[in-house]
Amino acid sequence: MANTANAAGAPALDVSHRRVILASSLGTVFEWYDFYLYGSLAAVIGKQFFSALNEASQMVFSLLAFAAGFAVRPFGALVFGRLGDLVGRKYTFLITILIMGFSTFLVGALPGYASIGVAAPVLLIALRLLQGLALGGEYGGAATYVAEHAPPGKRGLYTSFIQITATFGLFLSLLVILGCKLWLGARFDVWGWRVPFLISAVLLAVSVYIRMQLNESPVFQQMKAEGKHSKAPLTEAFLRWDNLKLVILALLGATAGQAVVWYCGQFYAMYFLGSILKIDATTTQLLVATALLAATPFFVFFGWLSDRVGRKPVVLAGCLLAALTYFPIFKGLTHFGNPAIEAAAAAAPVTVKADPASCSLQIDLANTKTFTSSCDVAKSVLTKRGVPYRNEAAPAGTLAVVRVGEHEITAFEGGGLPKAEFQARSKAFADQLGAVLSAAGYPAKADPARINYVMVWLLLTVLVLYVTMVYGPIAAWLVEMFPTRIRYTSMSLPYHIGNGWFGGFLPPVAFAIVAATGNFYAGLWYPVVIALMTCVIGGLFVRETRDVDIVG
């Protein structure tokens, strides 16, 4: 692609451009709303569809079902990316929104485990897979469509409005959930959680109407009229080294780091407050939603800034800042969100001294294991209570001992015990350990009176600002990396592998690390390492693209 001067005097945002951006963005907001409803309601859905699993597995399995939608996004990118490069941008992302809308509506109508047994989680995961396939084709189409309408020098600004849609979709889902909770009260956890999913039918109708008003991308129309469109976009994109190399670099040097910063700042932070710090769900969702609202304009700002200083420095700066500050920020969330945990951990640290061979991760996705070793019994109580602990190796064959400050409580070995007796002894042990933890100052839940709401909100806002830095310019950067004839296909795959796999699996991977180590912050090593990797690879090997001509 030939270089062109960056058009300082590029045309203003006229009526036709506003219509393109508005139509593309609104439709994408509704798709993200549908997709994020599940993530926002993961804990409630876990109880409805995975009630046969133990408590630790419920949360992780519900998060993995959420991640299942991300896992298939690259396949959606291949299917719909190819279609978009063959027949056009407009009709492809019209199909994706229909699939997304119907799948989401059906989640709201799906019977739970208590009604249809194991078929419930199986059908739920199937619907999540359909959502992921649809989303895999959605983003590349919307970003490509808007970028191909944008004048030179304004692609970062124009596509930044598409970038807002993911965060705004999450915000909208949180807003609807909070409204339903206030309206339905205790009924929300029983059946009211279905209402936000069912509402998506209305949003689907609006989205389809909006998308029907669009015309095909002028760049694609010109290319097709000249007979230059690709006849085999998958072959050109991934079986020719010159383009495959760009796909790999786009993944490792741009979207992987962008993805972990995005999901850490929006999803993991929300789960950290609710599941680890034990701040109640409504307060958590309000804090996250208002932080998202405050930071959202910065998507546009950083998109605009990337038109002036480049895509690469803005995105990589966001990755670097996140990697350098995640640990102090999340420690700050603990300090201001649940100071009692921090104080208790300093005054009476908890140690689990056990035979390492007897300790398991306690995540049983098939529900075929019973965690009865003394180590597992001890860690189960601590994990459920939200207590950080340190592991210490003990001689083989010895019973696990939990040390809380100067107090020691010996766990019991449950292997071979009848179920009723195991449950009775587990309850007695939990009560005994719980009393010692309470005496040491470990709270069962965060005390609302001790939460510094302003500081928690500010820290959450900083996390979302990092999201806006990495996400605001990414669409323009990806669009500009690839030629028009295979753009939809080429940019979609690295974006959805990055966001679907590196980002989508962040919450369950991070929680699994926390569960294994007992360290609240150990899960942060995952996003930190990935973000630093992207800084290095992106800095050394990925080119700046803001001045390229995307027609060609």
Place of tokens 């006849």: 231
CA angle 315, 318, 322 (to 5 degrees): 145
Quick check: 414 and 399 in contact, CB under 8 A? no
For the chain, give percent helix, strand, coil, nearest 5.
75, 5, 25
Residue 408, strand partner residues:
403
Instruction: Tell me the average pLDDT of the chain.
Output: 83
Report the alpha-carbon distance of residue 204 to residue 102 in Å, rounded.
Answer: 8
Closest to 219 in 3D by CA, of 489, 22, 483, 24: 483
Q: Tell me the CATH architecture of domain 348-437.
A: 3-Layer(aba) Sandwich (3.40)
Quick check: 390 and 518 in contact, CB under 8 A? yes
Residues of the chain within CATH 1.20.1250.20 domain(s) are 15-338+449-541
- Please state which of the four CATH numbers 1.20.1250.20, 3.30.70.1350, 1.20.140.10, 3.20.20.70 is assigned to the domain occupying 15-338+449-541: 1.20.1250.20
Please write the tens of the pLDDT for every residue from 153-208: 888 888 888 888 777 887 788 888 889 988 998 889 888 999 998 988 887 888 78
Please enumerate in sequence order all residues whose Cβ is within 8 A of that of 549, keeping only pairs 6 or more positions apart, or say none: 1, 2, 3, 4, 152
Handedness of CA 336, 339, 341, 343 (dihedral sign): positive
Mean pLDDT to the nearest integer, 102-116: 87
Place of tokens 């998958």: 234
Please write the tens of the pLDDT for every residue from 466-494: 999 999 999 899 989 988 777 777 887 88
CB burial of residue 87 (10 Å; 0-12, 13-18, 19+): middle
Residues of the chain within CATH 3.40.30 domain(s) are 348-437
Confidence bin at 438 (pLDDT 50/70/90): very high
What are the two backbone dihedrals, phi and then psi, of residue 269, each rounded to the nearest 5 degrees?
A: -60, -40
Quick check: 134 and 105 in contact, CB under 8 A? no
Percent of the chain with pLDDT over 70: 85
Please write the tens of the pLDDT for every residue from 247-278: 999 999 999 999 999 989 988 998 899 888 99
Handedness of CA 19, 23, 28, 29 (dihedral sign): positive
| pLDDT over threshold 60, residue 87 | yes
pTM of the shown model:
0.81
What type of residue is 17?
A: H
Report the alpha-carbon distance of residue 252 to residue 347 in Å, rounded.
Answer: 43
Report the alpha-carbon distance of residue 286 to residue 290 in Å, rounded.
Answer: 6
CB-facing half-sphere around the CA of 428: CA atoms within 13 A: 10
Closest to 289 in 3D by CA, of 375, 135, 177: 177
CB burial of residue 517 (10 Å; 0-12, 13-18, 19+): middle
